[in-house]
Structure 1
Amino acid sequence: MTMTLPEPLVLSTTEHNITVLTLNRPAKRNALTAEMCRLLTQEIQAVTDTANELNGMPTTRIIVIRAQGPAFCAGADLGAASEHTIGGTISAGVYSDDFHEALFSMLRAIVSAPVPVIADIHGPVIGAGTQLALACDLRVAGDKAWFRVPVASLGFALDGWTIHRAQNLLGGALARNMLIANQRVTASQAAAVGFIIPVKNPAQAEEFAYEVSRLAPLAMQQLKTALNAQDATYQLSADAQALFDACWSSTDIKEAKQARAERRAPIFHGR
């Protein structure tokens, strides 16, 4: 009898310097398990590792996270009492430290990735799915998208990073409505405060990712790092100054100057 291998929980493709990671659990509305979080972390880390091997910017310019099926992510899989991982080990479900560690490792990987990470959103985004969207640098979404973090209805505590990130990106009032009052944030509300960039179809989302991928990689890395720095003293640190100096001394800035003189679009190489 021929055994049918299970579908990968996370799909990965790279084309035109854009790596697309797809949540592939549509039957469960892409509800996250510890294994899915670990797989996403591994794929994002692979981009960073490539950059380290090349002693510079990775060949991937943009990471896009999207999902199969009508929902982007239904949050953590609360129905999973236990989880069989690809390696054959068994871990406790999402109420365990194992899931929390995997989730926060994934969020850290997104925030610290050397390239911008874009969430390509359609449909509901709930709980841990909203945390994933918050961690991303940019979000594109259709009008059927909505966000909710139902921790108050489940009796969960929510980590300080997520609370402050929601407050910073959504604004204090909207964050309070979502977190304390358990209210949905609609696509129109999210667009009004700049949390999402509205798109009408997948082609527009792909075009947006392509346009961002053509921007200067070193400049985007410097901006992302500074924007994500929680400690204001980072802006005066040696690391911040090194990224700043790298941009101003790069061949990319010379290319931009020459392209302006020649009335053409610049071609950046991340060096």
Structure 2
Amino acid sequence: MIATTRDKDVVVLELQREDRRNALDVELCRAIHTAAGQAVADGARVIVLTGKGSAFCAGADLGGVYGSEFLDALYGMLRDLTRLPVPIIAAVNGPAIGAGTQLAMACDLRVVDQTARFAVPTVRNGMAVDAWTIRTLAQLAGMGPARRLMLAAESLDRDAALACGLADRAGTLADAIAWAHEIATFAPLTLAHNKLVLNSSHDDDSAIATSFAAVWASADVQEAAQARLEKRPPVFKGN
């Protein structure tokens, strides 16, 4: 259901429900949660998430989305992705519809290929998404595109997503992995702090203050200073 591959500090997670266009069900949501958490536990500095075949994620598997078990699995997984202390890049290879758009937004950065498309067509199926989804969509894409997606059931293709800010770069999975390797050379504690602030609310002020202090007390700060003196790239260890 999920393939995990590792190249040095980068872990690639590939959704493998190709026969269902990688639609999310309870099992796949739990598998994403487990695989991402395991990647961090094993020392990954960046995660790349993509889908096998012609779709990133076609949304929720409509055969089983009406129960609380699915909603708990979906929103628990999305929430936990935003809380992981490493950057996650979505390599969007084709449609990311409904829960697929939510999954891409739970990632920190989005690389989109020629066939990428985003939509949240809840008004067509009588369903609803949570406030985090709608507000995050508005923050990333802007209020105008968010209103058109949520109220008029429109979609955004690759170029439109890039233009409004929902997508960050055009490219393939290989491009996303190359970007991940670049980011993996950056200071892990600083990356974790920045992600925490970007994804947090004022309720997290205590955690942010602790993270801020940990960055400035880290050995990586000293390593960066020493590297500048020695005119070499710093080697960050995350401590």
TM range (shorter): over 0.9
Find out whether 1:22 has 2:6 as its counterpart.
no
CA contact (8 A) 2:56 2:96 kept: yes
User: 97-106 vs 258-267, which deviates more?
Assistant: 258-267
Counterparts in 2 of 1:42 and 1:201: CA distance versus 1, 3 Å: closer
Q: What are the ranges of 5 or more consecutive residues in structure 1 without an aligned counterpart?
A: 1-8, 51-57, 81-92
What aligned pairs does 1:209-248 form with structure 2 within 5 A after superposition? 209-229=180-200, 231-234=201-204, 237-248=205-216
2:23 aligned to which of 24, 31, 36: 31
1:116 aligns with 2:87: yes
Give yes or no for the alignment of 1:71 onto 2:55.
Answer: yes
Distance 1:124 1:233 in 2: 34
Paired letter, 1:33: D
Map 1:128-139 to 2 at 5 A: 128-139=99-110
Aligned to 1:187: 158
| Cα pair 2:119 2:156 within 8 Å, conserved | yes
Letter paired with 2:58: A
Match of 2:141 in 1: 170
CA distance in structure 2 between the partners assigned to 1:98 and 1:201 by the alignment: 34
The normalised TM-score by structure 1 is 0.84
1:133 aligned partner, one-letter code = A
Task: Assess, with a 3 A threshold, how the Cα gap between structure 1 residues 262 and 227 changes in structure 2: closer, same or farther.
Answer: same
1:105 paired residue number: 76
Q: Is the 8 A contact 1:143 1:198 kept in 2?
A: no
**What is the identity, as a one-letter code, of the residue corresponding to 2:202?**
A
Q: Return the offset for 1:252.
A: 0.9
Aligned sequence identity (%): 41
Residue 149 of structure 1 deviates from its aligned partner by 0.6
CA deviations on 1:23-56 (whole Å, 9 max, x unpaired) are 00112111111100011111122245x3xxxxxx
Unaligned runs of 5+ in 2: none
The secondary structure found in structure 1 opposite 2:132 is helix
Q: Contact between 1:199 and 1:205, CA under 8 Å: does it hold in 2?
A: no
Question: Could you say which structure has the higher helix fraction?
Answer: 2
Letter of the aligned partner of 2:72 in structure 1? E
**Aligned residue in 2 for 1:62:** 46
> Per-residue CA shift, 1:228-270, capped at 9, x if unaligned?
11x2353xx3321111011111111111122222222211100
Matched, 1:265 2:233: yes
How many residues get paired? 239
1: distance between equivalents of 2:123 and 2:155? 13
CA distance in 2, matches of 1:44, 1:107: 11
RMSD: 1.4
TM-aligned CA deviation for residue 195 of structure 1: 2.3
1:77 CA drift (Å): 1.1
Q: Which amino acid aligns with 2:35?
A: E
**Alpha-carbon shift at residue 225 of structure 1 (Å):** 0.5
3-state SS of 1:180 partner: helix
Distance 1:10 1:175, change over 3 A: same
Contact 2:89/2:176 (<8 A) preserved: no
SS at match of 1:140: strand
